Chains A and B, each alone.
Chain A
Amino acid sequence: MTIVALVAFSFLSAPLVGWAGGRSWPLVAAVPLLLFAGFCFFLPILPAGEVALETYRWIPALGIDAAFRVDGLSLTFALLICGIGTAVFLYASSYLKGAPRLARFYTVLTLFMASMLGAVLADNLVLLVVFWELTSLTSFLLIGYSPERADTRRSAQQGFLITVAGGLAMLAGVILLGSLAGTFSITAILEQAEVIAAHPTAPAIIMLFAAGAFAKSAQAPLHAWLANAMVAPTPVSAYLHSATMVKLGVYLLARLDPVFSAHALWIALLTGFGALTMLTGAVLAMRETDLKRVLAYSTIVSLGTLVMLIGIDGELAAVAVVIFLVVHALYKACLFMVAGIIDHATGTRDSSMLGGLRRHMPITAGVALLGALSMAGLPPFIGFAAKELVYETGLELSGSWVLVVVALVANVSMVVVAAIVAIRCFYGDLSATPKAAQDPGFAMLAGPVVLAALGLVFGAMPWLISDSLIVPAASATAGAPLDYYLTLWHGFTPMLALSVLTLALGVMTYRRWDGLRLKLAAITTIDLWGPDRAYDGLMNGLQRLAAWQTNLIQTGSMRVYVGRTLLTIAAAGGITLVARGGLVLPSFADSFVPEIAIAVILAVAALAVVRARNFVAGIVAAGLVGFAVALLFLFQGAPDLAFTQFSVEALAIVIMLAIVGRMPFREHEYRSKPQRRRDRWVAISIGLVASLLMLSVLAQPFDDRLSVFFRETAVPEAHGRNLVNVILVDFRAIDTLGEIVVLGLAAIAAAAVLAGMRRAKQEERQ
């Protein structure tokens, strides 16, 4: 009850938060804070290795339950989502004061948070997919906060399309995995991990899930959307790219890691793409001057690190994943918010225009420094422990010096990015900025201060979170209970040497950064041939393809549409009839009865409709067809039909004649001679197929089971002696209900056309 209540509360509070947010009340932060407090109640169950499960029936026929699961991993994510959410909501209430569309913004932000919570807490893969797509949808709305700008629209669309395409791949993976495991329950799937990993379809499942997770977590070459998403307001960037959205892919991989951790493809894909992403992000981060984009690329580096760590099998890697995840969320949210504060206070966030801000905004400078030190991985910050673990994991794998080198490059870039944000902007000579800088108020500072402080507190006292959260989460990632004790200081180890090397290289790179940046920025190949351009090419190609096939199919001529439709029907019917051997002709014996005259009248009258030279003659001929059919009904024991047909025919003629006065009376054939010749052949072929089909049907023995049923049950069960009416109002009443709805709708639609014409007439008069 508790988990679903918390998720439901987060969704249901959205309108309320939107209402309060529309007035920029700091109170909006109360909802994530309450949720945070709520999830804290689950903390005591973790050290014992317990898992909280809740299952509700949702679609039992398909084996889909609304199931939720709280274990170390999902609780770590839930606490990050709510905790950082609290900071972000509070920050936004001040940052976005006076901005337009705030009520909508806060509603969507809350819905996004709720979807994230749902996704990480879901214990059913289908439920996970639903929440996953909801995060894509809501993040689309968040990134597209300023839809009047073209670049915003493009970025929002790009992020949406890439993550949703990944989501589709993941859905395919979910279905494959579900049918293989016989259940969609994550708990049940984890229990049969070995069977699944050994199955021949495992590689396909791995690739599909990896595609989904890579798209969401911006792994190279799908990383372009993340940097472009920086067009969003800073609170959104701080939230989406620290603890939420992009981490969801990481969550999915970590969640499934116990199943596939030993699979060669899993290891190759994750470590390979993770390492590629780390390098890509590290290089791209060095090219930027915009603080938010620099941070975005460093986020890509971190995401690559996380994916690589998940790919590495082993307990140490599992611990490294969790600790790195928490650390990154804390400092990245903090630094994004600092970038926003700088932007807000000075009017720019271009690092080349900033310097010496320390003098005007000392508190911000302090916060930035704390966050940056954790990011750079210096002791006694928790970031140090994370970095050491990454190195240790790499070193533990014998012969994987490649991964160690990649990690070194990645960590050096982290040091440089940290220095750009905390040192370059705040130290050195004071630069002139568009606005006079000063420290912001409580609402904007509280979050970054707390997050930065936590980086220090957790570093100094790792036991605070070690047993209660990190180790249970790592156990969930590893799939088995771990015995690990988190400490900051490991003594003089190879990892320490690497840390020192990282710092030295980082400082060196930072001092030469200006030259390096210009050189890297001069490589235009990255812009011309990068995945961002590939995305544009793909989208343009798609539009061109759509335009081409639309022009091909939709000629704009109704005559062509009708002709194609009829030909398709004739071909489908005719080919099936011949290919399936159904073409049988009945005997024409017993054909010489009086009714045969009606058949002749029908054919002659129908041909007369075509020959009619003016509309009235056409109506009369068509009416004759109708009356001939009515006569047939009358002679063949269908008085109800005959009656109806006569009155409908009369009414139709009245209506037809009524329009004669309003439309061109003379028959005019607009078709050219070749067009008419072509149409004649189409008409003849479909008429022929229709006749042959009908003849073949008549050659079959008649299946009278339904008729017999109606004959026998009408009186005893439906108390009616007119079988036609009994069938209409009783046996097939739902059908008749549908018919009268159609009848009513056609009439109402006609009335709407009439109303439109009246309005047009009135406008003409005015």
Chain B
Amino acid sequence: MKRSIMTALLVSAILMLSAGMVFAKTLKVGTMGPLTGPYAADGNDIKNGVLTAVEVVKANGGIPGFDDIEVMPQDTACEPRQAVATANKLINEEANGVVGAYCSSATLPASEVLDEESIIMITPASTNEKVTSRGLPYMFRMCGRDDDQGFIALKFMQEKLGAKSVYIVDDKTAYSQGLADGVEKMCEAAGIKVLGHEHVNQGDKDFSAILTKVKTSNPDVFYMSMQNSATGALMLIQAKRMGIKAARLAQDAVYHPQLMEIAKDAAEDVYLTFGYIDNNAPAYKEFYAKYQPKHGEPGAYSGYAYDSAMAYFKAVKAAGATDPEKVKAELMKLDYDGATKHIKFKPNGDSGSNYIIRKVENGKFINYWNPATGKLY
């Protein structure tokens, strides 16, 4: 009798344990971005943004139906081949969703692989038009698009700077050259004279020859399209030393606290096109309060990565499952104020561009010019 009770207890205990194991589910989110190599800073920003989102979700009681959220950071090194390899790795490790990648040249091939396996991918940072124009059903984008960004750059040159001529320099990546080519075409069409369009190599530190050219041709605007903020900083230091007087206009990849850390006063009065972020919005404040103590000042795309992960978690929570069709349907329904922008996806997966002109003033980025109103902030 006694023994049978013991057996029954033991059996039920085992049953309960195993039942617990069956129902213990972990939500697996992969992040993709360059964790090594020249763009490592940006990849780490994305990873940290996602980690912050997980922390916030867990602190608010997690997601019902899942015991844990696991983040699987992957290093794409901004190389197409490695991006595909990491996408395959995430598939093998049964990731439910992916936030990434950073470079458009990594996001484009990786998304093809992930889409075949119906894994939802939200890129926080890849601005190349092709990301969402290929019709991949599970591809979403939290940031803006380069055609919009180039247009805002042009509008600023025309309306605010009254520029008659521009000199363009890019560093030959799918993103930076694509954007620079777009700006060149738009400038020519709008009657702004393109005095030159030069390219520098990845890993270059010395830009003196090209900057001497810029100085000699004396443009109204010096447009820099660099894949990396540190490279942009080096170019600004040398431009200042060279005595280039043109207004300096850069883009979203140069937008990073590193810019002022390295270039210091050489970065003063640089204009940049970047998405509008309201630093006083409650959602942004919540993000900042969680992010800053652990990871330092947020990088350009930390907030967008945070929003990408949050949007995914919200959709999974609403769907009550990780089934991609259901999650996609819920993502499409989202309509709320995120940390960086108002989140509402369009049918093609874009969430809209809201580029404005920012400026470096006293070592800080400030909102400078609003293209919608044509006025200063």
Do chains A and B interact in one complex? no
Query: Measuring CB to CB, which residues of chain B are less than 8 angstroms from any residue of chain A?
Result: none
